[in-house]
Amino acid sequence: MYTIVAHVRANKDCPYSDYLAELKRSGAKKDEAKILHAVERLRNRGVQELAQIALAKKMNDVWELRPKPHRIFFFFDSGRQTYVLLHGYRKKSQKTPPGEVEMAERLRTEYYYHTR
């Protein structure tokens, strides 16, 4: 079993939690449940096993958790042996928008800047 945390920014904003809250507010409880289930699978099995079944995909310095049609970006902090959830979005096209990957990488850099 792995430890999972959501990245909280210096201004106390948490993009991952904000995304889940927006889904809840919009009435998308099934979508929220799919995401939480995928996160629980990450906690129990780790990224390598999820990658084998295409539920996770490496995207540069971050990973993408893929509970259709949503995407949740995360990475593994090896120093703390923890998966860190960054942010999510609803996928609407075949390719991942470059801006989403860039945002995840900025959040990852920010996490390390504030935790070291």
CB atoms within 10 A of CB 73: 26
pTM above 0.75, yes or no: yes
pLDDT tens digits for range 5-21: 999 999 999 999 999 99
Q: What homologous superfamily does CATH list for 3-115?
A: RelE-like (3.30.2310.20)
CA distances from 109 to 7, 37, 59, 105, 116 (A): 11, 27, 15, 6, 11
Q: Where are the domains of the chain?
A: 3-115
pLDDT tens digits for range 72-105: 999 999 999 999 999 999 998 888 899 999 999 9
